[in-house]
Chains A and B, each alone.
Chain A
Amino acid sequence: MKNAIYRLLGEHGRLPVAAGTIASDADLYAAGLTSFAAVQLMLGLEDEFDVEFPERMLNRRSFASVDAIAACIAELTAGKAA
């Protein structure tokens, strides 16, 4: 899953550095993720994993790092399998 997140981060994140060079627990906003790019990334993630982010996940914390994004996706996809 993280590979896909990194790929989407590279496609939508508009980061000044290569997405793959960012540690999975590093702060994406400090790495240059803007709120505009964060929304584009969210749309890409929804499409990729066929999920919809509920309102409670639409905050800065959910998208603060690759790990945080992975936790959200894991929660949403686990809900779907159940």
Chain B
Amino acid sequence: MSFLNTRAERAAAVAGQFAEAVDRDGRFPHEAIAACKEARLLAAMIPVEFGGEGASMSQIAEVCAILGQKCASSAMVFAMHQIKASSLIWHGREAPWHQNFMRRISAEQLLLGSATTEGGIGGDLRSSLCAIEAEGEVFKLTKSGCCISYGLQSDAILITARRAPDSPPSDQVMAILTKDQYTLDMTMPWDALGMRGTCSDIFTFSARAPAEQILPSSFADIAAQSMLGAAHLLWGSLWYGLAADAVARAQAFVRAEAKKRPGFQSPGHLRLAEVSNMLQAMRANVQQGLARFEKAHLGGDDLASMGFVVAMNQVKTAASRAAVDICNHAMLIAGIWGYRNNTPFSVGRHMRDALSSQIMISNDRILGNVSNMLLMHRVETHLAG
């Protein structure tokens, strides 16, 4: 076990201790994120030259899975932070302001939030209404109706906007604003079925900051090359952790039954084999996505290809469906003991958290995009690739 995983397990233990309270009260997982900072997990992926430890996407994915087993909300906050960090790492490496900011993340364990959605555009993050308004060396930006998970707890927010007031909706840039540079006016608090600790409140965001804080790459490139893949893979990883814990609970139930009634095979036994099968397929899906992402980032053309976009999208749609199905199976195995909220076999929170996976970037929207790309992209017919 690597040192990173050991530290992740320490933070996960704290996350698990408060998971029920976070879910019940719909509050931010302060303790878990403080434990992540204490374990210096927030800068894990930042390159060594900027004070981090240069962890790979697979290593970060493993941390997401470890946290996801104990508290999916905490794991999601961690994952979203790392997704934002990936944009900085891959697109801000050459820019002095962003290099310096990465050093700050490492030294101060800053938590990064995201403001990529906007009221009035129907959830399409590749389209913006708001625009950067340049005023000499600084810019002004106001974005309304944006859902910002843990917005109030973030130390900095990465936000998308049109490049200029006369740019089309798809010509976007991404800027990084620190807490002292923006104001958040909450218009709708988060009160949801699951993932209750992510505090995905809706805000009007207003900021003024130096223009050098805008990432040099276009957001189209950031989305295609790092954000889309990082998001789908890290989400998939934490959903895997969540699903694996649901299966572990179902397995514990079956084992306890088997000890009570030796030789008797209940219907749940068979379902355990079935759900273990589903979990294995989910794991393979996420692992294969991670391998492709890491290979693509070593160089070559894959990163800009349509096939890469299709693959990353399909990791997400498949993993999210699997998470929901697996939690449902786990509940069927433990029956009333899984359905109740107060047994060691309860999977109610897992189920409610898993349901979010289908709608955070709606699977229907993703399938729509993929179906369009499949008018051109040929399906893979080779098994080994």
Q: Residues on A close to B: CB < 8 A?
A: 15-16, 29-36, 39-40, 42-43, 53, 55-56, 58-61
Q: Is the CB of B220 within 8 A of A29?
A: yes
CB distance from B308 to the nearest CB of A (A): 9
Asked whether A39 and B375 contact (CB < 8 A) given A56-B301, A58-B306, the answer is yes
Residues of chain A with a CB closer than 8 A to B301's CB: 56, 59
Q: List 26 A-B contacts (CB under 8 A).
A: A15-B168, A16-B168, A29-B171, A29-B218, A30-B163, A30-B171, A31-B168, A32-B169, A34-B126, A35-B309, A35-B372, A35-B373, A36-B369, A36-B372, A39-B375, A39-B376, A43-B375, A55-B305, A55-B307, A55-B377, A56-B301, A58-B307, A58-B377, A59-B304, A60-B220, A60-B224
CB distance from A14 to the nearest CB of B (A): 10
Residues of chain B with a CB closer than 8 A to A42's CB: 375-376
Q: Is the CB of B304 within 8 A of A33?
A: no
A55 and B308 CA atoms in complex are apart in Å by: 11
Looking at chain B's contact residues, is the secondary structure mostly helix, strand, loop, or mixed? loop
Residues of chain A with a CB closer than 8 A to B163's CB: 30
Asked whether A59 and B169 contact (CB < 8 A) given A39-B373, A53-B376, the answer is no
Q: Is the CB of B306 within 8 A of A59?
A: yes
Asked whether A29 and B375 contact (CB < 8 A) given A36-B369, A59-B306, the answer is no
Q: Residues on B close to A: CB < 8 A?
A: 126-127, 163, 167-171, 218, 220-221, 224, 301, 304-307, 309, 369, 372-373, 375-378
Residue of A at shortest CB range from B378? Answer: A55
In the complex, given contacts A29-B218, A32-B169, what are 13 additional A-B residue pairs having Cβ atoms less than 8 angstroms apart?
A30-B163, A30-B167, A31-B168, A32-B171, A33-B170, A34-B170, A36-B372, A39-B376, A53-B376, A55-B378, A59-B304, A59-B305, A60-B220
Residue of A at shortest CB range from B309? Answer: A35
Contact among B168, B170, B376 with A58 in the assembled complex (CB-CB below 8 Å): B376
Contact among A30, A36, A59 with B218 in the assembled complex (CB-CB below 8 Å): A30
Residues of chain A with a CB closer than 8 A to B377's CB: 55, 58
Across the A-B interface, the 7 shortest Cβ-Cβ residue pairs: A32-B168, A58-B306, A59-B304, A59-B305, A16-B168, A60-B304, A30-B171
Q: Is the CB of B305 within 8 A of A58?
A: yes
A53 and B25 CA atoms in complex are apart in Å by: 54
A31 and B218 CA atoms in complex are apart in Å by: 12
Q: Is the CB of B378 within 8 A of A29?
A: no
Q: Is the CB of A61 within 8 A of B304?
A: yes
Residues of chain A with a CB closer than 8 A to B167's CB: 30
CB distance from B9 to the nearest CB of A (A): 40
A55 and B220 CA atoms in complex are apart in Å by: 21
Which of B126, B127, B306, B369 is most buried by chain A, counting CB atoms within 10 A of its CB? Answer: B306
CB distance from A62 to the nearest CB of B (A): 9
Residue of B at shortest CB range from A54? Answer: B378
CB distance from B130 to the nearest CB of A (A): 16
Residues of chain A with a CB closer than 8 A to B304's CB: 59-61
Residues of chain A with a CB closer than 8 A to B218's CB: 29-30
